[in-house]
Chains A and B, each alone.
Chain A
């Protein structure tokens, strides 16, 4: 099919539909995704020569990819609410900053390390919603709190939420996760350092941030190394959780040093985002003291033990991965001649899937918290209700967008988009643009997963056409999407609501954009430099 502007625009139209509906008309992901699915079906059939059988098979294939992601989302939310309903999340959040009177270290422990831990185990806006009120309770301003909690957890997005967005990118890019884990972890290590520095600056000011640089460097190194080893060992779902857990231990050790333990004279509130009274915050100490930190952490301890055990012990790995669900698909050809070879669809291991491991952990944690007497009557019903209501809408959005992306791929529309971009931008500039595309997608759709679903195949095919390393470009997509997702209005609105800033979201987004774009620019520069080597 010839590359013309009309063909390129039509190929781009489903993505454009998502972006316009979400950005201009403020539609949610599920609504915009469903509309874009219809656009993809119509354009694929009428312009790109996709027959009914091809579209139907593509829809089936997309459901396997969707289930791969949804199993993680539902079970990650289950684990989070099992812990949250028991009061465990509040206990962890309150005990950490009590370790130091130093504002800069408090900023780092809560607004950088703990918020990333929550991204590792939960995600979906939960980190900002939980940490921003905790920061306000410690005397930080509501705007400071939202900005710190948002910027602080961006690095934990790709291997956080039990690697939901990363798994989605594996599916849409067609690259095995192991092939681009190292480059993704390396790019993220740079953002770990700079996001820590930004959090310290926002929380305590320039001078305190400069004094805190050694601590930021040490914690960045520790978290980067742990995340790198976990990700390259194939433990994608534990990358951010493991890194931030070790980061918490290292941070606690650093608070034993007097300069990071005592109150810092340098700490100054920033003009424009200074602390102020916040009616939405609970005072420190509001969490019941009788709950043990060790028992509170047990939900995540169980997860780590099970995930490491099942992934690293061959006998357990073989035992849990005996039953897999997969489907075979025939070769498909459009009337325009675009061929999708016959292949096996995505294979889902029913008992060894990260979602299954999360479910085992959630059930075990529920028993532990129940025996410890942490639940009020009716907890199980409340937990299941929160999980279902929290996950249904985003699940529909993912199903629709994965369906759209798969149909586009099978109709040759993604290839058409990639050809247009490769001829328009060129191989010299594209590495710098790739993270911006990822960030833009996440900013507009409110989710790194959505961005990876929409742009994963496009980035891969553009890289192939330009002769650039596909693993580097897909890593750039993962990292850019992570940086863009923390700037997304959809997430910031959640944070603003929890600290009493409802109605001031525009001001917060304006201040966030400046800081967030620094991170996106750093990633772009890094990718461009690596590609130029």
Chain B
């Protein structure tokens, strides 16, 4: 039997505590970041566009980690 099962739960308390704030943050970054991405693309700021897209991708990675 795994240690997690012996402990009775697989979710550490700190993770459960931060889940909602992290998910809310990821959602805000995804929405706001996408609009910033549009502005960067339209104005030709390619480096900024790449950074913003990377941040949006990071928010999805955070979602996978915390959910």
Contact = CB atoms under 8 A, between A and B. Distances in A.
Contacts of A56: 37, 41, 49, 53
A63 B49 CA distance: 16
B57 to A, nearest CB: 7
Contacts of B67: 27-28, 30-31, 34, 393, 396
Given A30-B67, A59-B53, A67-B31, A393 B38 contact: no
A220 to B, nearest CB: 40
A37 interface: yes
B23 A59 contact: no
Contacts of A327: 38
Interface stretch (B1-9, B10-18, B58-66): B58-66
Question: Which of B26, B56, B67 has the most C-beta atoms of chain A within 10 angstroms of its own C-beta?
Answer: B67
Nearest to B26: A396
Contacts of A367: none
Contacts of A399: 27, 30-31
B53 to A, nearest CB: 5
Interface string B39-55: 00100000001100100
Q: Which of A52, A55, A399 has the most CB of B within 10 A?
A: A399
Contacts of B30: 63, 396, 399
Given A60-B37, A396-B30, 16 more contacts: A31-B63, A31-B67, A34-B63, A38-B57, A38-B60, A53-B41, A56-B37, A60-B34, A60-B35, A63-B34, A66-B31, A392-B24, A393-B67, A396-B23, A396-B26, A400-B60
17 contacts: A28-B67, A30-B67, A34-B67, A38-B61, A52-B50, A52-B53, A56-B41, A56-B53, A57-B38, A59-B56, A60-B34, A60-B41, A62-B34, A63-B30, A393-B23, A393-B67, A399-B27
Interface in A50-108: 52-53, 55-57, 59-60, 62-63, 66-67
Nearest to A66: B31
Contacts of A30: 23, 63, 67
A37 B37 contact: no
A198 to B, nearest CB: 35
**Binding site secondary structure of chain B:** helix
A34 B56 CA distance: 11
Contacts of B61: 34, 38
A59 B34 contact: yes
Contact of B64 (A34, A66, A67, A393): A34
Interface string A15-38: 000000000000110110011011
A395 interface: yes
B64 A388 contact: no
B60 A59 contact: no
Nearest to A55: B53
Interface string A389-421: 100110110011000000000000000000000
A131 to B, nearest CB: 27
Contact of B27 (A37, A57, A396): A396
Contacts of A53: 41
Nearest to B40: A56
